[in-house]
Structure 1
Amino acid sequence: MKKILSVLLLAFMLCSCGVQPAQPSANAPEKIVSLSPNITEIVYFVGAGDRLIGRTSWCNYPPEVAKVENLGDPYALKTERIVELSPGVVLVNRLIPLDVINKIKSSGIRVETFDPQTTSDVLDTIDKVADICGLPAKSQELRPEIDSLRKETAEGSKKLVYLEIWDNPPTTFGKNSLGADMVRLVGAENVGDRLEGDFPTLSEEAIAGLDPEIIIVPESYKKTVAEIIKRPGIAKTRAAKSGSIHIMNDDLLMRPSPRVLDALKIISQIVGK
């Protein structure tokens, strides 16, 4: 009986060890500042959220990030406060002004810049951030589902999808953007692939001429589908005529974060209807 109890106790201890959070390497930064909402999400995703000491006003996920010191929005950062905090690393994206980056670097603080533009880039960025934080890679938690989704939709209907990120003037995702990559990954065609630029603008007449089968707009418009469908260009599209106009959370639609999998699932469901 004692032998059985000992075996069970050992098994329990081994299982318990398996669920312990990964410990950072000895030279990992103890204090981290993130000046990009998507990178902030990644910091929490890889298990380094407890070391985050500063973030921007745009960083709104996960909810516990609200407790972290707000260092301003990306275009009005409290640079002196960032330097005063003396973080081991500052994580930024390409929106952060170069003069801010240079001032931080001149204070001897390490700065790492990220600019993920595709789903694959997001996964690579997750592993790079994990490495910087002295933690194991985490992208493998997302890769299998994303790969599975890609295979399931490989023979998709190639429906024409218009992802709108702004309405004045109408603006969409160009072919080299995350939004375009997500649409292609689920087996559809992105309207922006037919246009020039990273974030092409177009007229209502152009929207009507492109005649998308599916239209997705951000919820920040605070408009109902009934209101959106009244726009002159949209009203003439196949999407309007079939009722395939959808409203999606802005951050899921535009943010290259670990929640890209959630975004892909939503877009896949919409395209599959």
Structure 2
Amino acid sequence: MKKLFNLQWLSVLILALVLVGCGVKEDVKKEEASKEDQKVEETSYKVTDDRGVEVEFDAVPKTVVSLQPSNTEILFALGVGDKIVGATDFDTYPEEAQKIERVSDSVKFNSERILALNPDVVIAYTTGNDETLTALKGLEDAGIKVFAIQSATSFDDVYGDIQQISTVMGIEDKGEKLKKDIKAKIADVQAKVKDVEKLKNVYVEISPKPDIYTPASGTFQQEILKAANVNNVFADQQGWAKVSEEDVIARNPNVILTTVNYVEDPAAEIIARDGWNSITAIQNKAVYYIDTDISNRPGPRIGEAVELIAKAVYPELFK
């Protein structure tokens, strides 16, 4: 009887242990689930865009639509270009960007196609005008997260864009490194041109005859020219200045740079212009084409843009 009692007692003990064990497992599961929920809450974050809108993300975006070439370049430079599922017709750099589906011509975008792609976020741009903001609101009303960035007009704006995008993508450390790399590139170029005693006078043409336009003060290009230690002959003007042939001839630049890429041999066209043969740059054939995407795009290649200008104007310092 005692043996039987011991066996019965042992069975009860084992059953109790099993039940307690199950209870412990349930408690562990609940605790783990709670930690997981807390982890999800911790990954939720907010970033303020250039409209002043606080955009909330429950998790780091896995798919992105980019509506501006410079922002696409930033995403690739940050190492997350593979997350882009929609881009503009002008997203040509890097080469991988050319394979992304086109959803915009950089002015208007295909809302239906963007909705069909259902990205985690649309990184858009804004110039502050009502038409752009209205179009973006249409995407938001349809349930798409939109993060709008104002078009950069200075190096600091570019650094700010990189910071914002890297925060949205949850890679702030990579954003900081990219900014440091760009600044180091610019500093390296400036070290080569800092001892130039007499700055060369430079004219930059972004639109040819008959409507000639040049970047003046208050433009992104002016900051590039200044960083390259050259004198913009139209720095006394503001914004995108329309100038006459007589204006250019009178200012007699030492070097002429053109970013025009839609005419055949733009440098040769400038050299051959009637009445321009009195200009020092024409006489010395110091007229050069500068890659329009690098020099006009406020993105992660601004260091290269400064180097392009400096090399064209002071080639002897880069041998």
Please indicate the TM-score interval, normalised by the length of the shorter structure: 0.7 to 0.9
- CA distance in 2 between counterparts of 1:131 and 1:51 reads 15
Amino acid at match of 1:181: E
Shift of 1:219: 5.0
- TM-score, structure 1 normalization: 0.83
Q: Is the 8 A contact 2:206 2:260 kept in 1?
A: no
**Contact 1:155–1:187 under 8 Å retained in 2:** no
Deviation at 1:151, TM superposition (A): 4.0
For 1:188, give the aligned amino acid.
Answer: V
**Residue 49 of structure 1, CA deviation:** 0.7
Shift of 1:97: 2.8
Cα deviations by residue, 1:199-251 (Å, 9 ceiling, x for unpaired): 01111111111211111012513225333212236433211112211011111
Paired position in structure 2 for 1:142: 182
| Residues in 2 aligned to 1:127 and 1:119: alpha-carbon distance in whole angstroms | 12
Residue from 132, 154, 176 that aligns with 1:97: 132
Query: Which of 107, 115, 118 lines up with 1:83 in the alignment?
Result: 115
Judge conservation of contact 2:182–2:301 (CA < 8 Å) in 1: no
Q: Does 1:199 align with 2:240?
A: yes
Point out the more displaced range, 49-58 or 155-164: 155-164
Normalised by the length of structure 2, the TM-score is 0.72
Q: Which amino acid aligns with 2:89?
A: S
Q: What is aligned with 2:229? A: 187
Using the aligned pairs only, state the percent identity.
25
Residues 1:127 and 2:159 are matched in the alignment? no
State whether structure 2 residue 213 is matched by structure 1 residue 175.
Answer: no
Give the secondary-structure state (helix, strand or coil) at the position aligned to 1:246. strand
Q: Deviations over 1:99-154 (max 9, x none)?
A: 32221222232222132112332233223211211112221122112123234433
What is the deviation of 1:47? 0.9
Is 2:147 aligned against 1:115? no
- Structure (1 or 2) with the larger CA radius of gyration: 2
> After TM superposition, which residue ranges in structure 1, 4 or more long, deviate above 4 angstroms?
none
The farther-off stretch of 230-239 and 170-179 is: 230-239
Residue identity opposite 2:133 in structure 1: L
Matched, 1:63 2:95: yes
Amino acid at match of 2:182: L
Task: Look up the match of 1:4.
Answer: none
| Counterpart for residue 254 of structure 2 | 213
Q: Does 1:163 align with 2:204?
A: yes
Corresponding residue number in structure 1 for 2:32: none
Separation in 1, partners of 2:142, 2:118: 9
Match of 2:65 in 1: 33
Letter in 2 for 1:154: K
Q: Which runs of 5+ in 2 are unaligned?
A: 1-42, 45-58
Q: Number of paired residues?
A: 248
| Cα distance between partner residues in 2 of 1:94 and 1:257 | 16
**Aligned residue number for residue 85 of structure 2:** 53
The one-character-per-residue Cα deviations of 1:141-173 (angstroms, maximum 9, x if unpaired) are 221121232344334332111111111411111
Q: Distance in 2 between matches of 1:233 and 1:163?
A: 18
Structure 1 58/226 Cα, relative in aligned 2: closer, same or farther at 3 Å?
closer
- Residues 1:223 and 2:265 are matched in the alignment: yes
Q: Deviations over 1:27-56 (max 9, x none)?
A: 211111100011111110001111111001
For structure 1, the residue ranges without an aligned partner over 5 or more in a row are 1-24
Amino acid at match of 1:264: V
Shift of the 93–211 alpha-carbon distance from structure 1 to 2, 3 Å rule, reads farther
Q: Is the 8 A contact 1:211 1:238 kept in 2?
A: yes
RMSD of the alignment, in Å? 2.0
Q: Distance in 2 between matches of 1:234 and 1:60?
A: 34
> Contact 1:104–1:111 (CA<8 Å) still a contact in 2?
no
Letter in 1 for 2:75: V
